[in-house]
Structure 1
Amino acid sequence: MQLESPHILVTVFAFLLLLGTLVVVHELGHYWVGRWFGVKADKFSIGFGPQLWGRVDKRGTLWRIGALPLGGYVQFAGDMNPASQPDENWERLPEVERSHTFQSKALWKRALIVFAGPAVNFLLAILILSGFLWYYGQAVNPPVVQSVANGTAAASMGLQPGDRILAVNGVTVDSFPKLATEISIHPDERIPIRYQRDGEVRTDIAHIGVVEEVDRFGNKYRRGVLGLPIPPAEIREVGILEAPWLATKETADIVRLTIKTTGQIISGRRPVSELGGPLKIAKVSGEQFVLGFAAFLWLTAMISINLGFINLLPIPMLDGGHLLLYAIEAIRRRPATPIMQEWAFRAGFAFLVSFMLMVTFNDLASFGLFGK
């Protein structure tokens, strides 16, 4: 049964709740590691633009909410520009005051402060997934073929009942859900599948089929299918100490799939139209919110993983861009020149603006704004 899309106010509330939570978590990672290393934070902002609310704490940090709720930032003492370059004003600061600035810290400390933001996004996702595993348990469903329907990719490659799938395109699979996930990202592609039959390990090429599914809100998804019915799974209880390890493995799998699908888009094997932006995230946020707390919490974990991954990309203006410049500094034994850093951040800014325009266009197109 198809459900109606949530009311616009519900969608806006869910999106702000999701984005606000993840931005606060991300920036708190920078903030706490910075404090740990003795760096003073001048400003902690949720959102950009004009200040809607603000309060200065006893440490002199301004905690504020900006009018444009599409991100946030921590401004550490001494941050004179986006590249965190020291300038003449920094040089003129008293020694005691300068010792609490970001630029005064050792390279490895600055790198950890920058890395802490994406790191806590991954940690939040691991915490949420750990809770799901501990509460719901783990599905145990070995990828053993039960039956093969005619006309499917599985039949074409010669799979038979009793065969156990071992790997898909070089990635080891140990359950039907993981098998389905690996197959889903290769629609209409020819990929190797390794399986075991009567103790013998074989590898054959499968031409993966394609299905277009529609969810309960009318959203369409294109995914690859092998054509194997999934048998019922047994649920295994997961202990509170085991759950974080399994959640970490699942998070790593999601990051790997994200990297792989991103590479498919860059290489042209997947359409650029599959990239979504803030409007798409807002729409999905509202939909998952009305489906219930568990669905919304799961989406929070997925978006948190993607936020951590995106911020680690080596693009100036992102955390990964800063880390790239620090790596260059470590190799050269001196920072990149101010001109080099300035142009790098200009290029990064131009790229991010172009990317946001593209994904926003994709979002509007997916909503039917441009018709056919």
Structure 2
Amino acid sequence: MLTGCTDETGPEPPAPVVTAEEFEQRLTEHLSRAVSGALEPEAQATPPSHSRTVGCADLPEGGPTWGVRPRAELAVSAGEKAEKYLDDVEMWMLREGFAEHDKRWRVGTPADVREVTATHEDGTQLLMEMARDSGRFTVAVTGPCTWPPDRPGGPPASGRLPPLAPPSGPTQTRNEDSADPCRSPKLYVYNLTSRPFAGRGPHLMALVGYPDEREMEYAEVLLPREWEPRYEPGTSDRDLDQVQLFVCVRVTATKDSRKDVTCNYASEQAAPGGGRPFTFDLFESVYHVTVREARSGRMVSEFIVPGRQGAEDSCPYRMNYNRKLARGIDEAAFQKRLRPLAEARR
């Protein structure tokens, strides 16, 4: 009686076509682009650390047991702005070819961890992690199966990995209500077709004000009309291409003044639910002003103006039923600092 034999070994998995060293350079390029393209100097990134994992058989696409997966990782420290910069790096990665994007909170001990994953078209897998309230996050990129340097038989020829496309550059908002060009100037600019900040004045401006704290009301910060762009003929739209400077005004409430102010609202538009007097707790304030070229995001000037308006002059044009109110900006000091930028010859 003969016993039947079956060969269950199957075909050999395909050998990697890229060397580990070449893909490690690609991982370094992904990380360095993210650092330069998304982070400001206040966010400190460590140099990338590299490692390799042996064995590719468990990958969805398969691979030989002798193949290696290169990995690179860096950490970013940014204190209370860490989550903001994690969002910026995430946005940068999505613009630069990463897809299959997913993010979630992973419940754990001692802290919950925010997790972001994505995959690049070249096979790089992205993992970003940040423990809640930690002030830092990690960015790790892992390559596909590659040819190890000590494998006999000769590695594949270099140059099999296509180069990355040039960085896409910032996105324009063309929106005076958006603070994105202020909070993330490497990712966003006000208007790419604006006139450059050059030549004879007036150098026209657009302004956006935004708070540090959302649970507070703020008076409007306004520019003199002669410094704003003109309306397009026959329309109610301003000609944004005339804007040369974008003025970012970040409001910080400092301490309770121990004073109350009552603001009167007569219209439904200003006070939803019916116009009526409303009493606020008045807080002292500071206005952090950054002036950027509208077309490039380049910083032109930076200064601080105190909140010095009288109590009633600090009343917001529209209220949202927050009990706290920041004292209005010192308009004379604000305009004095902006006037040389608006009127001087460049």
TM-score normalised by the shorter chain: which range applies? under 0.3
Whichever structure has more helix as a proportion of its residues is 1
Task: Return the structure number with greater strand share.
Answer: 2
Q: TM-score under structure 1 normalisation?
A: 0.23
* Bigger CA radius of gyration: 2
